[in-house]
């Protein structure tokens, strides 16, 4: 009887060990995506990315892999880029990842560009997806030049000349943009395009409409998988 009981206990212990190992493997396999950092635009906030998070979650991303950066949109984009640098380092430390994927919208393009070009961020960015990014500025910014961020967003500003001089898509980072002639805020809409990037034209989408455009957001998610 003792031998039988010992055999049963040993078998149960072995089964429990297997279950624990399987659980650990499942947990390890769950975190398979490079963390995403979403960067909002002028007058925006992290809440802008609610639909994007839903679209990415549908593609298998966990909540811990989806990070929305908040910043003071009225201040200089240089200051916002410095905050983005700190935020990305926090994401890397928390997740154990070596790189992030950046998805930006509107003025978030300038914040991302300064981080990559001027603050040594490029090695930490695997993909950059710019949705209606103000990468070469917009004449629309002339309406809000009471803010430093808008002065920097004017076409031809010293800020934009700095981030667009030389290689607009440096390093091994993969770059893609999405722009539309129906944008209405990024003027001209071609300002979003980056030399050396995969530049996608959306037939007709408004500037704010992108934030709930599941087709474009799904395309962005697919780009990050490449």
Per-residue pLDDT tens digits for 116-165: 999 999 999 999 999 999 999 999 999 999 999 999 999 999 999 999 99
E strand or H helix that includes residue 199: strand 198-201
Model confidence at 2: pLDDT above 60? no
Model confidence at 16: pLDDT above 50? no
Confidence bin at 5 (pLDDT 50/70/90): very low
Amino acid 3: pLDDT: 45
List CB contacts of 80: < 8 A, sequence separation 6 or more.
71, 72, 73, 111, 114, 149
Dihedral Cα 78, 79, 83, 89, nearest 10 deg: 40
Is the whole-model pTM more than 0.75? yes
Model confidence at 20: pLDDT above 70? no
| Sheet strands side by side (includes 36-39) | 66-69, 36-39, 100-105, 125-131, 174-179, 198-201
Model confidence at 38: pLDDT above 50? yes
Average pLDDT value for the chain: 90
Tell me how far apart the alpha carbons of residues 29 and 136 are, in angstroms, rounded to a whole number.
40
Across residues 98-117, what is the average pLDDT? 98
Model confidence at 9: pLDDT above 50? no
Picking from 3-17, 83-97, 182-196, which range would have the lowest pLDDT averaged per residue?
Answer: 3-17
């Amino acid at each position: 009887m003792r031998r039988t009981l010992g055999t049963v206990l040993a078998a149960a212990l072995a089964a429990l060990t297997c279950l624990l190992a399987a659980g650990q493997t499942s947990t390890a396999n769950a975190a398979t995506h490079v963390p995403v950092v979403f960067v909002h635009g002028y007058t925006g906030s992290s809440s802008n990315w609610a639909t994007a998070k839903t679209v990415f979650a549908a593609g298998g991303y966990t909540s811990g892999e989806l990070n929305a950066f908040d910043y003071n949109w009225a201040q200089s984009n240089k200051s916002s880029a410095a905050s983005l640098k700190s935020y990305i380092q926090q994401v890397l430390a928390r997740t154990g990842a070596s790189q992030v994927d950046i998805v930006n919208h509107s003025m978030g393009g300038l914040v991302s560009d300064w981080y990559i070009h001027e603050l040594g961020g490029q090695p930490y960015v695997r993909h950059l997806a710019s949705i209606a990014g103000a990468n070469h500025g917009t004449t629309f910014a002339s309406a809000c030049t009471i803010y430093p961020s808008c002065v920097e967003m004017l076409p031809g500003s010293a800020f934009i000349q700095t981030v667009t001089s030389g290689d607009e898509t440096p390093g091994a980072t993969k770059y893609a943009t999405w722009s539309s002639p129906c944008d209405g805020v990024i003027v001209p809409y071609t300002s979003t395009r980056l030399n050396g990037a995969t530049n996608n034209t959306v037939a007709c989408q408004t500037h704010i409409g992108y934030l709930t455009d599941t087709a474009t957001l799904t395309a962005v998610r697919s780009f990050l998988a490449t």
